[in-house]
Structure 1
């Protein structure tokens, strides 16, 4: 299950749904159409990929591998057709002959070293994650020694995005305005009780479940779980056509400040 940790930034009121910078995908050309490729076949040749990084000598947080590979599927075979630096200013290119010698023919190299999956995204972008962004459709090509052995397309359009996940202030407002403050112990002005919970969505995108991952005592734990279960919706993510379990970890902060700011709205 994918964890999105909100601990520190939630305390200071800043949203942060991913700890990694989204990675620039490779490109795959099929019958003249170009698709985003979230597989990186050159990384199956560690010495070659290191050599490319050395030559380009440019690493970016959005492109740790240091290059963008251009690939082509032709006659059920995979070919490498180009390598471009991740520098968005220079866009340096590398001759395939420099890297592969006489294996480079007619400006391309047969990728007979690659066995695995080619994961292509197509359709509209639904959700933006680090290296696992969700698009309307995913097409997965199975390859063995550079030859296509199978193809399957998946429909991810059942993915829904809840504003309570993407808009932190909406989530805060809902939680703290629905806490039954009058049933809880009165806290000193400088005191905060923290209950760390995991919010767990479901396939329908309806009200989530919650589980305590760091307790503050039964009174506080039970109220945190009760309120989160009242959320009218939570995001439902689909990958490869199936529900993709996804959890958010976050603190529910019981404090006088939150009680004064939000509490009067519910009672």
Structure 2
């Protein structure tokens, strides 16, 4: 039994919990004090390099989440595994863990190839993907700031495929999509905080993705949100060094060949 079982369905939680988690976790980062000694970019750089207002970013994210919620409801409706008694039979824990891993790999694979193609196709980059790169200096609640078409193709379709291929139930999907959202927000937070568990367990992390957002690294480190497998396998992986700036904070720099 889970805490929401008496109040809402797994399908409703799978639809709306990731949205709530996004704003809570992203808002947490947004409301932190400046923390200049942990920033990957100075606040001056953020103001000068980013070409979109915070209000525009929020509207863009809300639009994408509206589409995601609509697709999620349709997906859960078509794949409902609830029995006649109204109870969803959950697979053993080991099976759920395997489904989690499969879903992570499927999401990474889909997002790598779609993301990379959006960089290589000049039309798609200019008219679609460049919207996300208006945030040259990423920040947490801008993680899902995308062109609506990219939001649909990259995130929404990628999430749907992860759910379908892994065969997970709606209840397992609640945890998977919330985890994916937290990881994505963390990758865009722009902070290298000590003890960040994602930095300990994932090579694809805040600094890794920050490299991709910079001009010199825009053709590398396409992988997201979990692993760096495809970058390494297909030659688009670029290691970095994390160096302290004299004025405080860190800077992720491409390692010289």
TM-score by length of 1: 0.25
Task: Tell me which of the two structures has the higher relative contact order, counting C-alpha pairs closer than 8 angstroms and 6 or more residues apart.
Answer: 2
Structure with greater helix share of residues: 2
Higher strand share: 1
